[in-house]
Structure 1
Amino acid sequence: MTRKSPNRSKARSLGRPETRAERNIRWIEEFCRIPEGRDVGKPVRLRPWQRDEIRKIYDNPAGTRRAILSFGRKNAKTTLSAFLLLLHLCGPEARPNSQLFSAAQSRDQAALLFALAAKIVRMSPDLLGVVTPRDTAKQLYCSDLGTLYRALSAEASTAYGLSPVFIVHDELGQVKGPRSELYEALETATGAQDSPLSIIISTQAPTDSDLLSLLIDDAMAGHDPRVTVSLYTAPQEDDPFVEATIRKANPAFGDFLNATEVLAMAADAKRMPSRESEYRNLVLNQRVEAASPFVSRALWQSCGADPLSIEDVEVYGGLDLSAVNDLTALVLIGKVSGVWQVHPTFWLPRDGLADKSRTDRVPYDLWERQGQLCTAPGRSIDYEFVASILREQCRALDIRKIAFDRWNFKHLKPWLLQAGFTEDEIAERFVEFGQGFQSMSPALRDLESEILNGRIAHGNHPVLAMCAANAVVQTDPSGNRKLAKNKSSGRIDGMVALTMAMGAAPSEDESAPRPFITFL
């Protein structure tokens, strides 16, 4: 497609040749149509911020390998992706016989980009003359050039054996954890291509450990000049409900993003706190769990000072003994200068650790290499191994109480005896801690109070931070609370152990001791 455009003379009038980005902008505005909305069918007129993004991608002196664009919902992310896709399918960026793909986490999401691109093609006589939509297969084919676009989803059986030159990763923020098989399959398949290009357009992922967050943070650090990033997000400290804050995450606000509707969402979130997290993530494009966690990310990080030594103070602990092949957590706390110093230890079986990392979408293998996660020999957590660690800790520290869930303790007790604990010592130091509302609610209240007042120091331990981000609270009709593993998005063992440790510690009001059942 080589029709001339009046925009070309504009660049020449400035006394310089047309840049690659200007050529692409001109092509989009000449051949593409708005696929839906109030201006459906009209020629595209890219907004200044959209033009800036195209310039950042195509006029990058280093040559762009990956471009990340992240902003709030309904800013026409998918429509912009469709324009870029058509540029590479049948426009000036097209390469003969090349393969193009879009990747999404679900079939429905994958179908959205195809549907928009197909609408653009059908509304433009010029495009429809060279591009054939294949609705059933979710494909677009340009026979003149031999270029083929396919929409893929993570639900597809395989994405291997492909050779893409252009990829759109649509809403990559939906990937939980640091890995996506579809993302990795497509990105590693570009090796045979010269100057492949990947476009990631998405709202932010909820947590720092999610794939999109890792990619954004790495790009923001500037390690690779071939990676560009544009992050439209509202700062955490700004008032989340005012227009000025909303505009920072939504470049289309008041244009094709309905300002009245967005302000109504802000009012709903302000009136109903249960909707605030979702509003912050999807509208303000902040890294916030859509499901409200027990403690917000910002509040948790505010207590991230490195913990001091607890060798010379009274120590209390919580032990969450999970299934033998699952995450086991021991959290010890001691108060120094009025602040609880938090020292967690986590175990997983060494065998199959990489597989478990992929299954849980959590970098257990990386944390092990960094010394943040201990591994026990074999394919299961040997309670003999845990008992020996507990014996060493009790010799080194003044541990007064360790709270535990009775579920697996009967299997641990024989190994405690073998490790050198006496019956009296076990009865004195190890206290049963129920996982229901009665025991959990007062401990959670105390932990929440200490966090709110900045009286804990956890050093931003990554495994504990993961558990904190996943922890969701369940409330009974009387307002009592407990941590609910079945309602949480991932493992929360570390937060359970921390809560039990706080419950084992003496309360400020010594006249109201906590109810415990001593193990006999």
Structure 2
Amino acid sequence: MAVRGIGAKPLSERGKIEVRTVKPWEEPGLTRAGRVIAFLEDLPITAGSLAGTTMKIRPWQRAFLEEVYAEDETGRRPVRTAVLSMGRKNGKTQLAAGLALCHLMGPEAEPRGEVYSAALTRDQAAKLFQEMTAILQAHPELDDRANVIRHSKQVEVLFGDGAGSIYAALSADAGSKMGLSPSFVVYDELGSAPNRDLFDALDTATGARDNPLMMCISTQAAADHHVFSELIDYGLKVQAGDVDDPSFHLTLYAAPADADPWEAETWEAANPALGDFRSLDDVTRQAAQARLVPSKESAFRNLILNQRVAAVSRFIHKVEWEKCSAAPDLAALRGRTCFGGLDLSAGRDLTAFVLVFPGEGRMFDVVPKFYFPEAAVKERSEEDRVPYDLWARQGFITLIPGATIDPGFVAHELAEAASLYDLQKLAYDRWRIEDLRRELSLLGAGLPLEPFGQGFRDMAPAVDLLERCVAEGLLRHGGNPVLKMCATNAVVTRDPAGNRKLDKSKANGRIDGLVALAMALAVSGRQEEEPLPACLAQFLDDG
């Protein structure tokens, strides 16, 4: 076969161009990182104001590459996972394309290697592929050895370093990635991925290689439970010395949470290329708009300042919530007085049961439990872009057999909790409560159930108490990730009198756990009062 791929040069014409005897990355005395940098600086820039010149690795890029490609005493690269996070438009696409070529046919290439670039969509995956092919077309020596297959977004190495290797562009919206054996993966904008499936498939597939590398280059995700947020948090623990893991490296450029977002010094913290190939005028323009238009501030903080900021304003401040992450002593809580909140879900959603234990100094120990129908957890994980399935494997969610929430299973869980603790009151939303009452009756469990309206009348004091407990650090919730997700998602609405309630309809995700916590706190201190007429109580509960 003379030609491989549409537009490919005939194989008979390969290997006839004049090549350099010693390429820049083959110069003696270079370190492993030095060889990578020399290869990158030999690559042409194909677009923008610097088109026609070659890449020049900046000091901040050099520092990252020297950390990632450092060798141990055996000559191996310890780093297997490398994370680089910074604001948008700091040259990540060209760096990612250059590194993919370096592992495909440069000094990091291996025979019959498999190099992949991963992205959110096919269009985004195609962007990196197009950058790589543009570089190849402008670099005759590399292009002579490469066979570009455009319809499938692949590149084959025909001879020389990396002979028999293949590159392919993958996207999260494509089908199964099973059967791959990557030697190098660069995941572009992992912070935008809808779920962790593609990341996990590629990460676990590297096990067959001797010295693989996965590199994630992205702006931060907005949510703490996102896979990219987990990688950054892990990397910060490695940096702090809390975790000893030489296989993991993090380089993070992000503006501090308490920094003035409108100061140029703050912009520089998240944009290492600012004033170089990252336009200062463009950032100045976006900052001016975000300062005047509140709806744009969150996007500016996330995309430009690289802060972990959601797109909407939340009820609970993240820093205050995390200050309450001390873990309760579960063994010491047995037999202790407690109060509960129960938020029963619709048939295929999350059910939350939260207990609070009043302690000394106005403190509350918080013990949350969550339930999900086993048959629906995978589908809901994908729909909500939340790792319910992972949390279930970690023990933070109890899976109920079947496709819907079984009230009998929940009733058994409530009865067991009542046998372990001195449960004084269990507040509940009226949704599906009759099914639960019936199941409790069959178990002979006489629980102290107390109805709790979801309107402003009942929820306003509960919201006030919850906010005060979080702000004053009066909770010990143990950092439960499901409860943390609910706290992150929670938003409140106000009535004309200024009363607030947690609003599920306006929340961008599940808040069931926080609703249950608010109810439990409220009944722990609720004073006895004369009941209102039924019609008036119902009117107020309806908000």
TM-score band by shorter chain is 0.7 to 0.9
CA distance in 1, matches of 2:201, 2:412: 43
The answer to whether the 8 Å contact 1:401/1:431 transfers is no
For these two proteins, the number of residue pairs brought into alignment is: 506
Partner of residue 320, structure 1: 343
CA distance in 1, matches of 2:254, 2:340: 39
CA distance in 2, matches of 1:119, 1:227: 31
Is 2:490 aligned against 1:466? no
1:467-504 CA distances to partner (integer Å, 9 max, x unpaired)?
Answer: 21233446789876554445545432101212333454
TM-score (norm 1): 0.82
From the superposition, tell whether residues 187 and 314 of structure 1 become closer, same or farther in structure 2 (CA, over 3 Å). Answer: closer
- Where does 1:261-276 land on structure 2 (aligned, <5 Å)? 261-276=282-297
Partner of residue 228, structure 2: 212
Partner of residue 87, structure 1: 102
Unaligned runs of 5+ in 1: none
From the superposition, tell whether residues 399 and 21 of structure 1 become closer, same or farther in structure 2 (CA, over 3 Å). Answer: closer
From the superposition, tell whether residues 365 and 188 of structure 1 become closer, same or farther in structure 2 (CA, over 3 Å). Answer: closer
Match for residue 304 of structure 1 among 301, 307, 325? 325
Match for residue 149 of structure 1 among 167, 182, 190? 167
Q: Supply the AA of the counterpart residue of 2:470.
A: I
Q: Supply the AA of the counterpart residue of 1:256.
A: F
Partner of residue 3, structure 1: 20
The answer to whether the 8 Å contact 1:329/1:344 transfers is no
Is 2:206 aligned against 1:190? yes
Partner of residue 160, structure 1: 178
Partner SS, residue 87 of structure 2: coil
CA distance in 1, matches of 2:253, 2:51: 26
Partner of residue 21, structure 1: 33
TM-score (norm 2): 0.79
Partner SS, residue 25 of structure 1: helix
Of 364-373 and 61-70, deviating more is 364-373
Match for residue 345 of structure 1 among 363, 368, 384? 368
From the superposition, tell whether residues 451 and 358 of structure 1 become closer, same or farther in structure 2 (CA, over 3 Å). Answer: closer
CA distance in 2, matches of 1:390, 1:166: 49
CA distance in 1, matches of 2:415, 2:24: 77
CA distance in 2, matches of 1:90, 1:366: 37
Cα deviation for residue 406 of structure 1 reads: 1.8
Is 2:189 aligned against 1:171? yes
CA distance in 2, matches of 1:189, 1:418: 50
Unaligned runs of 5+ in 2: 1-17
The answer to whether the 8 Å contact 1:310/1:335 transfers is no
Partner of residue 12, structure 2: none
1:348-386 CA distances to partner (integer Å, 9 max, x unpaired)?
Answer: 258559857965665556656766444556665442343
CA distance in 2, matches of 1:273, 1:482: 23
1:132-158 CA distances to partner (integer Å, 9 max, x unpaired)?
Answer: 444332223333334332111011122
Q: Supply the AA of the counterpart residue of 1:327.
A: L
- Where does 1:86-485 land on structure 2 (aligned, <5 Å)? 86-144=101-159, 145-175=163-193, 180-220=196-236, 221=238, 223-306=244-327, 316-333=339-356, 335-336=358-359, 339=362, 341-348=364-371, 355=378, 359=382, 372-374=396-398, 381-391=405-415, 401-420=425-444, 429-434=449-454, 440=459, 443-473=462-492, 482-485=501-504
From the superposition, tell whether residues 4 and 245 of structure 1 become closer, same or farther in structure 2 (CA, over 3 Å). Answer: farther
CA distance in 1, matches of 2:464, 2:343: 19
The CA RMSD measured in Å over matched residues stands at 3.9
CA distance in 2, matches of 1:378, 1:432: 29
CA distance in 1, matches of 2:355, 2:208: 52
- Percent sequence identity over matched residues? 42
CA distance in 1, matches of 2:450, 2:482: 24
CA distance in 2, matches of 1:490, 1:68: 27
1:373-409 CA distances to partner (integer Å, 9 max, x unpaired)?
Answer: 4455666544234334445655776656543222211
